[in-house]
Amino acid sequence: MRYRLLSAIAFSAATKLAEAAPAAASYDYIVVGSGPGGGPLAADLARAGYSTLLIEAGGDEGDNPTYADIGNFNEAANDETTRWDFWVKHSDDPARELKFEHTTWDTGDGTFYVGLDPPEGAKHLGIQYPRAAVLGGCAMHNAAVCALPAEDDWNIIVKKTGDTSWSADNMRKYLTKIERNEYLPAGNPDHGYDGWLATTVGDASWAKNSSLPAVKILQKLASLTGQDPSNVAQLVNTDILENVANVDEKVSFYNMATHSDSKGKRNSPNNYVRATVADPAKYPLTVQLHTLVTKVIFDNATLSTKPRAIGVEVLEGASLYKADPKHDSSAAPPAPTQILAKREVIISGGAFNSPQLLKLSGIGPKDELTKFGIPVVKHLPGVGENLGDNYEGSLLAMGEAPVEAGLTTLLFRTPNAPDKRRNIYTWCGAFSFEGFWPGFPTYHGPTQYTCAMVHMQPKSQAGTVKLRSANPQDVPDINFRFFEKNGDQDLSELVEAGKLLRKAVAAASDTFVGPFEEKHPCPGKLGEEGCADAVQKEYYKTQAYSHHATSTCAIGADDDELAVLDSKFRVRGVAGLRVVDASAFPVVPGAFPSCPTMMISAKAAEDIIAEAKGKSI
């Protein structure tokens, strides 16, 4: 398959953010990155009265319908206006890498080839992992799914650090703090109604029509997971952000929540940052767009004791990072400039760019830094290690007629899960989602039907983010090392999940939409036995994909050599420097990290402001 490079047509937002430039030589706080971690944090700090500079490598597309209308999320993720392409590996085995069906190649003529039979002379790129360089970060191009981690994903930080403020019970308050719930009556104590983040759900009334083939699938799913098939119309409206006892062991249908409003508009850190800048209270927030941070600056006088961060070095201009498909490799980079922070520098570049920036600044494994001639400020071997992600896959089938209905969302536990927690988040409907590549997704026709799934509690977090050079414009070397640790267990769980979903979809085979022809993972007539577990395992091993990278600057215990941060997001061994984004999670937080990252952003703001005011934290 060939895909032409998208044209670089920028949407110009009419906002003073586009004109933003540093208004002062220094700020109380500098926040690098405007995504779910950095954007809300910068706004909170400014609203607390601290002069704050928020630096973003991309522009502002908050008024662009491609990003503002949540239904356009596939177009947003493909849009060259904001897209950064990271070409990643899933393993150290080159032969295995070339089995990934959506491997991408640069043909050299302005097009990508996606597939297993590239044209002669094509350059192998790898597996596309799109990120968003835009005000609001990846919360501006994702599907905006809002879900919470398992309680143990919060409590693990308590166990590692002894900091009880990370308990699941306490972390719930950050959801209620940031949320502006638009789907439940006001007064529910488990939700917030005055925050900056709108949440809503879809219309699930279709489930009341028992004659629909999709309802037959729904009823079969209920039967297979111990729910009442006669009550599915009510079950599908269960609140997915509910706060009930033993919620992580509850197998249930849910109505998928998104961080968008009831009018179908995306709601993200972009909205909160822009509202803060525009507020008549004149909060001291400055937003500097199209600026690439190249390193953190340290006070030379403190290098021999405890190095203190005092600012950042930046390159000003658009498309300076080589992940940007609009980057001009023939152009000389602009001269670097420096911006100073009176209190702290906070890095919120995400799981790929935060460890890269730390390493470029001299914080990371000393052997790797020395290899590229980077002076070592602090040897922290965990920087760029522990990269984790959810495994994702899908069951895709083609019917005889369209399966007309909305989404079915189900959280369930496979029989072979190692504990009582549910381990699969699935959503089924008349769509196609098979991972990421230039031009995704493939439209297989009006009769396509997919059950996509996210595997929770992955047992392997063996990936790495390593420097390719000391050039801050270069993209790091990213290897997820899928299934390297306890891989057979994770693969077995994916296989069992696929079996359950196959049985459910087959329940509609005797209606006008059937029979179904399965395209993957077991090509052939849906429901027929004949695809061995080993075959399915091999499929998931070579074709699993992901887009929830976390944990490369993980919070950990004082005696953990690989811990990068303490429980207050402070980079160990230095002063005046924190990391606040998804890279801080020690483990992948549930099925979707966007809302959990916004929650820890609110927690970080609370911690930082308390420390600034001299309060005990």
Main-chain phi, psi angles of 342, to 5 degrees: -75, -30
Q: Among candidates 303, 310, 476, 446, which has minimal Cα distance to 383?
A: 476
C-alpha distances (whole Å) from 220 to each of 400, 464, 500, 502, 555 are 20, 41, 10, 10, 42
Q: Count of alpha carbons within 13 Å of 299, Cβ hemisphere only?
A: 18
Q: Among candidates 44, 46, 48, 49, which has minimal Cα distance to 195?
A: 44
Residue 543 CA, distance from chain mean position:
19
Annotated binding site: 134, 142-145, 293
What single letter denotes the amino acid at residue 188? N
Alpha carbon distance 288, 19 (integer Å): 8
- The single-letter DSSP state of residue 481 is -
C-alpha distances (whole Å) from 467 to each of 22, 173, 240, 247 are 29, 38, 39, 40
CB burial of 510-545 (b: ≥16 within 10 Å; e: otherwise) equals ebebbbbebbbbbeeebbeeebeeeebbebbbbbbb
Q: Are 311 and 345 in contact (CB under 8 A)?
A: yes
Burial class (CB in 10 A: 0-12, 13-18, 19+), 614: exposed
Please name the residues in contact with 276: beta carbons below 8 A apart, sequence gap of 6 or more. 43, 46, 47, 283, 285
Q: At CA 132, angle to CA 129 and CA 137, rounded to 5? A: 130
Annotated binding site for FAD: 134, 142-145, 293
Q: Among candidates 54, 53, 49, which has minimal Cα distance to 34?
A: 54
Q: Count of alpha carbons within 13 Å of 263, Cβ hemisphere only?
A: 4
Strand partners, 345: 30, 577
C-alpha distances (whole Å) from 98 to each of 115, 125, 283, 539 are 9, 11, 52, 13
Please name the residues in contact with 493: beta carbons below 8 A apart, sequence gap of 6 or more. 414, 416, 417, 423, 424, 455
Q: Is 171 left (phi over 0), alpha (psi -120 to 50) or beta?
A: alpha
Alpha carbon distance 54, 43 (integer Å): 9
The encoded tokens of residue 513 equal 């939409």
Alpha carbon distance 564, 363 (integer Å): 10
